[in-house]
A and B are shown apart, each in its own frame.
Chain A
Amino acid sequence: MSFPLLTATAALPAIGAVATAAVPAARRTAAKWLGLAFSLGTLVLAGIALARFEPGGDRFQLTESHAWIKDFGVRYELGVDGIGLALMALTALLIPFVILAGWHDADPLETNSSRWRPTQGFFALILMVEAMVILSFEATDVFLFYILFEAMLIPMYFLIGGFGDRAHSGSDENAAAQRSYAAVKFLLYNLVGGLIMLAAVIGLYVVAGSFSLSEIAEARANGSLSMATGTERWLFLGFFFAFAVKAPLWPLHTWLPNAMGEATSPVAVLITAVVDKVGTFAMLRFCLQLFPEASKWATPVILVLALISIVYGALLAVGQRDIKRLIAYASISHFGFIILGIFAMTSQGQSGATLYMVNHGISTAALMLVAGFLITRRGSRLISDYGGVQKVAPVLAGTFLIGGLATLSLPGLAPFVSEFLVLVGAFAAYPAAGIVATTGIVLAAIYVLVLYQRTMTGPVKAEVQGMADLKARELVVVVPLIALLLFLGVYPKPLTEIVNPAVQHTMSDVQKKDPQPEVEAAK
């Protein structure tokens, strides 16, 4: 038996979470270093997985399979295709930066209680989320995936509700109330989605008699399993609803601005760059593979919702006065693009959507973390409280700009490649959808540049006067992310090489062929 690499990748952060939580109250710094070490170890393991993966090989690689709960027909089955692997690597990559960026976010304000250990808890919870997210990208058993999909809400919930942004307007009590409101809203939205999915998961078992993705696919292929059209549609809707809440898709998105606004910036990154990706990933992995017919049936409606997300998210981002909520609405717009790419059902669209997930993770992390550094310095999230920052903190302003430009998909930066692919894919299948989606790019330029202009340029505001530039720790966070954005923007091949075969498999599952381009150049 070979070394269970995928299990190890998920188990290491889980062990790290326990170890970090067990660090005594006074040894706060040790807990931070321990958490960082475990997240780096996970990154190494993910790197090994990346190296051992053969792009042209089997669909699911590095597979593991063990009996788990026989009575429920559940097996502990892991395996990654290119899509899962890319997202797993993204998660492993981002967590060390999240930990570094949140280095001081959970230092206790009052140290009178010897038993209250927020710092240990904060880093343990981040590692817990990492473990669950990674395992959910690896799960090829529907039940296993479902369990993780639901269970990751709990550490996330504590991260949002327990460790709020200290830069808030109004009283502490008011902020605490808003924070727990945001946390509860996050949990209830996602829990309701998850419970509806639970009904569909049980329904799937009743229909298919198995939870294993490969077994169900095989049974479908050889005709021993045929779902009635109505059943398949209901099950699809049950699954899709949960993923659409998580992703989030308009009109189920309203929890995201609250959660991202109230959480600390690293946690906000964790939400949008890591956890939400599980939703879009699951659409590709489960909705399309398990219910291909129903997916095609639902495509028109989903495309319309995705387009609404793109435009509506961008419009609301333009109107935001709060930096973090602006980024949240921008993310909603970007998730619209991802879902558009997935359900355009073209190979460019789906490759683009997968790349988009990775690139959006990196670019949002860069923008949000720099925004977090900015907000921590000034103690305010309102755009109007800033002005002329580029004169006092040029490096901060510069990195902020690059993060912003990545968000608006400037050519040369990674998100451009993916957005372009998504739009090409959408145009090929649904030209009207492509046209509407393009307005999202224009609006993105507006909200990013206006944000930069208002905060960074102009006369230096009095409160901003003494603002320090980025420190060494912060540079360590930002520089690699920006380097990665540049690298993947110029040379996306390593990523596309991994992703494309997996996308081809998915396309063949839904039995869709790319529409033949009328003009060769359009390709």
Chain B
Amino acid sequence: MSATAVHSLWTTASGVTSAAPDEKFKAPVIEYTQLAPVLIVIGVAVLGVLVEAFVPRRARYYTQVFLTVVALVAAFAAVVGLAAGGYGTTKAHIAAMGAVAVDGPSLFLQGVILLTSLVAVFTFAERRLDPEAHGNRVDSFAAQAASVPGSDSEKAAVRAGFTTTEVFPLVLFSVAGMLVFPAANDLLTLFVALEVFSLPLYLLCAVARRKRLMSQESAVKYFLLGAFSSAFLLFGIALLYGYAGSVSYAQIATVVDGSIQRTDPALADTMGNDALLLIGGAMILTGLLFKVGAVPFHMWTPDVYQGAPTPVTGFMAAATKVAAFGALLRLLYVVLPGLTWDLRPVMWGIAIVTMVGGAVVAITQTDIKRLLAYSSIAHAGFILAGVIAATPDGISSVLFYLGTYSFVTVGAFAVVTLVRDAGGEATHLSKWAGLGRRSPLVAAVFAVFLLAFAGIPLTSGFSGKFAVFKAAADGGAGGLVVVGVISSAIAAFFYIRVIVLMFFSEPKADGPTVAVPSPLTMTTIAVGVAVTVVLGLAPQYFLDLASQAGTFVR
């Protein structure tokens, strides 16, 4: 009996559809120009796959690098064009049948993602750091990802001079996902974007040339935990659909507000059920906080950051964080503003444990990549303090912080790729002793990045930190600011420890050397330093940009 009832309900619903086919089935309208940044990146990524299939092996590297750079630059130009055309402010609207929001935060974050990806891709393309293998210049990626580490086929692949040029289309796919992620305007698009940017990242983590087992291990960890968090997200989406009868952000928001009571007959039992909202919302937040790397969902960060090829780590650490915080902001400010008061204690708790936890655990780290991983966790906590502010200032300060942080991160990891010994990159901290004596310039540049991470004035890190703390204090989260400055002090300790090691310790006899990079990596580092200093001294223009971009469209 009940089965038929359910069935009849289902048929009724579809009966409505069939009753008036021409009204219900409208051809979708796609605003191609407004989606141009994403489309360009995806298009070139697909082209990159074709290049892998048809272009001779010798020419692939140059073709791929060229295509990738062109795609990112063109997409960035498209973003700038859209922003100049007023899509960030007055003409902000929802494109692609409600799937993608083209508004200030989207465009700002897309711009940041594209620029950081561009400089990060330069480190992907770097081929001068590793010694030549059998007369071939090699990059940071395995000769052939599929060959078992240490096997004959691996040796054969190295001898043949194979390189994994697939990383370039993979990066582009990932970037495309990241571009959509903060702009997603319904939960399904959010999920699809999450998978689109995550899956290539899992693969990229696994393809390191050196320490391949570690790299593969990190990829497996990342994949398993990432799949787990995706499941959380998806389950949360299902529950929210049950609650609101829609996956569209605007629809859900109106149901949360209570301003709409149009009940979908198929969901009559569940719609408006607060339990679904709270559990679903919490699960979606879990999925996003995992990507952000907030405590207690941070477990993957150190292992993955350490194991992944360093260029990938830099890209991932910067761009993923930008995309994920963008999505988090939109979710909290557009979909769940009605839940601000319910979520506030939870978010406070998470921000506090993230700031303090990241800073405290980082103190004991002995590997530079793990140290930066924990530092990124602490920074996620600082950004969360701005997210919690729930004011327009909160949005723009978070946008600004993400911009400053991502360039420092890419630059710092680019420096890490330079310090090498016989086993590849020398990431153990003890090997960095006395680096300042041997290579003052590299050590000084790294010190600038560390000082920016530590939030010392006159660096971009300070401007960003000040912006989010000010927003948090304005938004009534003074307690978070106090916790924030205390954990900044803790964090300062380990950044300074690295500086002490580099400048005040005697160099070791068998210490690592600093490889002289090609102009590619130099560009990455130079851009990182320039942004760090400029945003530290004269951040006004970018703050303006961020505050103009600080309004979500619904």
B→A interface (CB under 8 Å): 437-441, 451, 456-458, 462-463, 466-467, 469-470, 473-474, 478, 481-482, 485-486, 488-489, 492-493, 496-497, 500, 503-506, 538-540, 543-544, 547
For residue B492, which residues in chain A have a CB less than 8 angstroms away from its CB? 187-188, 191, 195
For residue A161, which residues in chain B have a CB less than 8 angstroms away from its CB? 500, 503-504
* Contact assessment for A179 and B456 in the assembled complex, using a CB-CB cutoff below 8 Å: no
Q: Which residue of A lies closest to B400 (CB)?
A: A71
* Contact assessment for B493 and A203 in the assembled complex, using a CB-CB cutoff below 8 Å: no
Q: Could you list 30 examples of A-B contacts with CB < 8 Å?
A: A67-B540, A68-B538, A68-B540, A69-B538, A71-B467, A71-B539, A71-B540, A71-B547, A72-B466, A113-B437, A115-B440, A147-B457, A147-B458, A150-B462, A153-B456, A158-B503, A161-B504, A173-B506, A176-B506, A179-B504, A180-B500, A184-B497, A184-B500, A187-B492, A195-B485, A195-B489, A199-B481, A202-B470, A205-B470, A206-B473
In whole angstroms, how far apart are the Cα atoms of A158 and B504 in the complex?
Answer: 9
For residue B489, which residues in chain A have a CB less than 8 angstroms away from its CB? 188, 191-192, 195
Nearest-CB distance from B139 to chain A (Å)?
27
* Contact assessment for A151 and B457 in the assembled complex, using a CB-CB cutoff below 8 Å: yes
A→B interface (CB under 8 Å): 67-72, 113, 115-117, 146-148, 150-151, 153-154, 157-158, 161-162, 173, 176, 179-180, 183-184, 187-188, 191-192, 195-196, 198-199, 202-203, 205-206
* Contact assessment for A188 and B457 in the assembled complex, using a CB-CB cutoff below 8 Å: no
Task: Contacts A161-B500, A176-B506, A187-B496 given; indicate if A71 touches B543 (C-beta within 8 A).
Answer: yes
In whole angstroms, how far apart are the Cα atoms of A90 and B492 in the complex?
Answer: 32
Choose one: B438, B439, B482, B539; the contact of A199 (CB below 8 Å). Answer: B482
* Contact assessment for A117 and B440 in the assembled complex, using a CB-CB cutoff below 8 Å: yes
For residue B462, which residues in chain A have a CB less than 8 angstroms away from its CB? 147, 150
Main secondary structure of the interface of B (DSSP, over half): helix
Nearest-CB distance from B452 to chain A (Å)?
12
Q: Which residue of B lies closest to A188 (CB)?
A: B493
For residue B504, which residues in chain A have a CB less than 8 angstroms away from its CB? 161-162, 176, 179-180, 183
* Contact assessment for B500 and A202 in the assembled complex, using a CB-CB cutoff below 8 Å: no
In whole angstroms, how far apart are the Cα atoms of A478 and B489 in the complex?
Answer: 40
For residue B473, which residues in chain A have a CB less than 8 angstroms away from its CB? 202-203, 205-206
Task: Contacts A68-B540, A72-B466, A191-B492 given; indicate if A150 touches B457 (C-beta within 8 A).
Answer: yes
Choose one: B451, B456, B503; the contact of A162 (CB below 8 Å). Answer: B503
* Contact assessment for A180 and B486 in the assembled complex, using a CB-CB cutoff below 8 Å: no
The residue in A67, A157, A199 that gathers the most chain B C-beta atoms within 10 A of its C-beta is A199
Nearest-CB distance from B5 to chain A (Å)?
58
* Contact assessment for B456 and A151 in the assembled complex, using a CB-CB cutoff below 8 Å: yes
For residue A176, which residues in chain B have a CB less than 8 angstroms away from its CB? 504-506
* Contact assessment for A69 and B543 in the assembled complex, using a CB-CB cutoff below 8 Å: yes
Nearest-CB distance from A423 to chain B (Å)?
37
Choose one: A154, A180, A206; the contact of B451 (CB below 8 Å). Answer: A154
* Contact assessment for A116 and B440 in the assembled complex, using a CB-CB cutoff below 8 Å: yes
The residue in B500, B505, B506 that gathers the most chain A C-beta atoms within 10 A of its C-beta is B500
For residue B466, which residues in chain A have a CB less than 8 angstroms away from its CB? 72, 198, 202
In whole angstroms, how far apart are the Cα atoms of A72 and B496 in the complex?
Answer: 27
* Contact assessment for A69 and B540 in the assembled complex, using a CB-CB cutoff below 8 Å: yes
The residue in A173, A180, A196, A198 that gathers the most chain B C-beta atoms within 10 A of its C-beta is A198
In whole angstroms, how far apart are the Cα atoms of A161 and B503 in the complex?
Answer: 8
For residue A151, which residues in chain B have a CB less than 8 angstroms away from its CB? 456-458
In whole angstroms, how far apart are the Cα atoms of A147 and B486 in the complex?
Answer: 18
For residue A67, which residues in chain B have a CB less than 8 angstroms away from its CB? 540
For residue A180, which residues in chain B have a CB less than 8 angstroms away from its CB? 500, 504-505
* Contact assessment for A199 and B503 in the assembled complex, using a CB-CB cutoff below 8 Å: no
In whole angstroms, how far apart are the Cα atoms of A158 and B437 in the complex?
Answer: 13
Nearest-CB distance from B398 to chain A (Å)?
14
Nearest-CB distance from B39 to chain A (Å)?
34
Q: Which residue of B lies closest to A180 (CB)?
A: B504
In whole angstroms, how far apart are the Cα atoms of A151 and B462 in the complex?
Answer: 10
Please give 19 more A-B residue pairs, beta carbons under 8 A apart, in addition to A150-B462, A192-B489, A198-B485: A69-B538, A69-B539, A70-B540, A71-B467, A71-B539, A115-B440, A150-B456, A154-B456, A161-B503, A176-B504, A195-B489, A196-B485, A199-B469, A202-B466, A202-B469, A202-B481, A203-B473, A205-B470, A206-B473
